[in-house]
A and B are shown apart, each in its own frame.
Chain A
């Protein structure tokens, strides 16, 4: 994103009607840092999750199931005793079962209002930072296909709810030991607890959720319960960005932990 490499364009800040300033921007701070860090973080997650999703291995180490593979929707899933095996697809599905379920959280995050900002800025430089001219000649925003599809965020939110529910179930299962006896805890249990808390906080802090809870109402005074719900969600919503990152990292961490256990690299320290 170096400045001054391309010839000045005669639109935007270089439109002839505007103050004649050759530079695309005059910012003196490290404005490129935030989009760069964002892009790097998202990229790292994409690389990691792609590898893990296609791997189709090392996703179950009793009592832990990787959140990438839960619920596991095909016949080729590893048998997880009491775990989230929901064979909806049968035997014809030959690829990694993670791909079947990841569509939903992926869609949820892809259309999330925070992630949209993050990747529009980080990957698409539209804009790279405030008051820094973007490198595109045309811009139609989310008025056309495919970006108009961002508006289906709400339906991904609906889908994300049962997924979060199943991950909660998985977390409950981590209170077993590797012989499936209840009343035990290990380091993984803690990780799963933190992860599920962040997943729920991120899911419920969603802008669509805020709208559905009460934002769409015109008279809060006539719906005191929904107003209170809206208030709670609004408070969570103000930390949507932090929750988006925290839950992204925690979900990857949980998966990685399961990988370490399943591949035998590491042994889960048991508390009791």
Chain B
């Protein structure tokens, strides 16, 4: 087993301000960045704030930016860096900072609340749900999401434009809309809820310019752009930009007047 000293630069501070601080810290074989942060806590900075939980890439708590890239600290192995490299760790830069590596991710919880929940089909009793595997495959892929919010962090729509946060739900929650719209038994339509319309009008689907950073950072390897966002855009095209449907709507609206 080999051990060496690594150079780390970690952002410390809070909403009032802060800076990158240098640390030299021991690294052992097979460790990940989160191990190093824990060693710093235990030996040099007992009050270094960091959010973490499962340490196995399953809970999505330890999101941070490592050398400028949104990553899970528990899934970033030290062996991927040169030993001489200085490793910079900062909090997520799309959300308000709380302290050190901890950010306020309440934006995501607010957006989660704005997506109407699954609508159970009328007249189907619990236990009587029948769904084919091929019909649930797509939504199951999206349900692999561990809500690490790295996609929300990297998405330039909100990362670079604070003002878009009100109008744009972010890739995670547009994917949630796609998941429900592809759910084989979701009865939103019957209940008068058009998820394709809400995706466009309430969750800001149009802001997405499919530059795929969400897919790049997803630790679960979900093809967010290709399998959720683009299909959702295509579904929106079905209802809004299809000339026949559009014409039909125009005529009906006029008739309503």
Contact = CB atoms under 8 A, between A and B. Distances in A.
Question: Are A and B bound to each other?
Answer: yes
Interface of A: 11-13, 15, 17-21, 25-29, 113, 116-117, 120-121, 126-127, 130-134, 136, 138-144, 147-148, 151-154, 207-208, 210-211, 215-216, 218-221, 227, 237-238
B161 A11 contact: yes
A216 B208 contact: no
A218 B209 contact: no
A20 B18 contact: yes
Interface in B90-109: 90-91, 93-97, 103
19 contacts: A12-B159, A12-B162, A19-B93, A21-B90, A26-B67, A28-B88, A117-B211, A126-B209, A127-B160, A130-B69, A130-B217, A134-B156, A139-B207, A141-B157, A141-B208, A207-B234, A211-B231, A216-B235, A220-B132
Interface in B170-216: 182, 184, 204, 206-213, 216
B210 A117 contact: yes
Interface of B: 11, 13, 15, 17-20, 65, 67-70, 85, 88, 90-91, 93-97, 103, 132, 134-135, 153-154, 156-157, 159-164, 182, 184, 204, 206-213, 216-217, 226, 230-231, 233-238, 240-241
B213 to A, nearest CB: 4
A131 B213 contact: yes
Nearest to A148: B206
Given A19-B90, A219-B132, A221-B132, A141 B67 contact: no
B207 A143 contact: yes
Nearest to B134: A220
A107 B207 CA distance: 21
Contacts of B18: 19-20
A34 to B, nearest CB: 11
A15 B134 contact: no
A154 B234 contact: yes
Contacts of B67: 26-29
Tell me whether chain A's interface is mostly helix, strand or loop, or mixed.
loop
A18 to B, nearest CB: 6
A219 B130 CA distance: 12
Nearest to A133: B160
Contacts of A148: 206
Contacts of A28: 67-68, 85, 88
Contacts of B13: 19-20
Tell me whether chain B's interface is mostly helix, strand or loop, or mixed.
mixed
A207 to B, nearest CB: 5
Nearest to B217: A130
A27 B69 contact: yes
A19 B102 CA distance: 10
A47 B19 CA distance: 46
Nearest to B162: A15
B33 to A, nearest CB: 14
Contact of B240 (A17, A131, A151): A151
A208 to B, nearest CB: 6
B97 A19 contact: yes
A152 B246 CA distance: 13
Given A127-B211, A215-B234, A26 B65 contact: yes
Contact of B241 (A27, A127, A147, A151): A151
Contacts of A113: 210, 230
A119 B32 CA distance: 36
Nearest to A227: B134
A207 B134 contact: no
Contacts of B15: 17
Nearest to A11: B162
A215 B69 contact: no
Residue from B65, B160, B234 whose CB has the most chain A CB atoms within 10 Å: B160
A18 B226 contact: no
B211 A126 contact: yes
A215 B230 CA distance: 10
